[in-house]
Amino acid sequence: MNTSVEVYKFAVFGGALTVMGGCMVMEMGAPRRDENGAIIEDEFSPMPIVLQYLRRTWKELTFYEKMIKEPSREKLLPDPLPAPYQPTYTLVLEFTDILVHPDWSYQTGWRFKKRPGVDQFLQQVANSDYEVVIFTSENAFMIWPVIDKLDPENKFIAYRLFRDSTHFIDGVHVKNLDGLNRDLSKVIVVDWNKQATKFHPQNALILKKWKGADDDTALLDLANLLQTIAMSNVLDVREVLTYYSQFDDPIAAFRENQRKLMEQMEEKEKENKTNNPPIASSWIRSFTRR
């Protein structure tokens, strides 16, 4: 009895799939028509009618697959502005878990929590010779209004790129920096997902994923790192990023390097004071010497 029921279920399921497949072929494989209803000839018109429908259906399915897996356009950003209006460096930022974190509660439902220091960070880097680009694997319809709230007057974020600008490979939305239309020696991409930047790992600064902690200071340290790069007029940012890519936490490594540098500067200053006393002190001693 149970066997009969199972066979019946499979038969119904198979029949439903057959009907759905047939409807899809009839819809997607039908020849196109002009405004008067006349059939428009295409490369499949000379074929037998069944083969025509199958080949058109396959072409449509391949087209939709390409739409999902490849960026919607080759050139993701417009041409750079003429000098001196174009910033020297381009900063590409993942939005989710770098600048904000999706948070849910019974009281508010879903909302995006701003990372500590995000406002100061955006202002600081935008005023430090960086063209700021949001390049996220999220959908535009969900993230666009959040970016509007973060930068309502479009003062700091120059461009916005979303999921439709990525390559979909092995379940990951990969960001191809070749499409940015910028000199890659001046492009820095900040992300938490190493796979999302695998086309250009030498341009990537991979941070730890921010999960909403209120005591986080990573963005402030990141701003200092980026400012240091800009003030140093680094010719190829990939050299700096390759160095920091060896650390699990590049921001902590930069913070430690800064601490060591300050200690060295303090030691140097002490040595200079010891070897070269202040002018005023030397002048007084020269007039009070017996």
How confident is the model over 35-62, as a mean pLDDT? 66
CB 228 within 8 A of CB 234: no
Residue with token string 């390097």: 257
More confident residue, 37 or 163: 163
Alpha-helical segments (H) within 83-138: 118-126
Per mean pLDDT, which range of 25-39, 130-144, 257-271 is the poorest?
A: 25-39
Residue 62's pLDDT is what? 52
Question: 108 pLDDT band (50/70/90 cuts)?
Answer: low
> pTM of the full predicted structure?
0.71
Residue 122, by phi and psi: left (phi above 0), alpha (psi -120 to 50) or beta? alpha
At what angle are helices 218-231 and 118-126 packed, to 10 degrees?
10
Distance CA 109, CA 231 (A): 43
How confident is the model over 119-134, as a mean pLDDT? 96
Question: 77 pLDDT band (50/70/90 cuts)?
Answer: very high
Statement: residue 227 has pLDDT above 90? yes
Bridge partners, residue 205, by sequence? 190
Distance CA 51, CA 4 (A): 36
How confident is the model over 166-189, as a mean pLDDT? 93
Per mean pLDDT, which range of 7-11, 151-155, 255-259 is the poorest?
A: 7-11
Statement: residue 161 has pLDDT above 80? yes
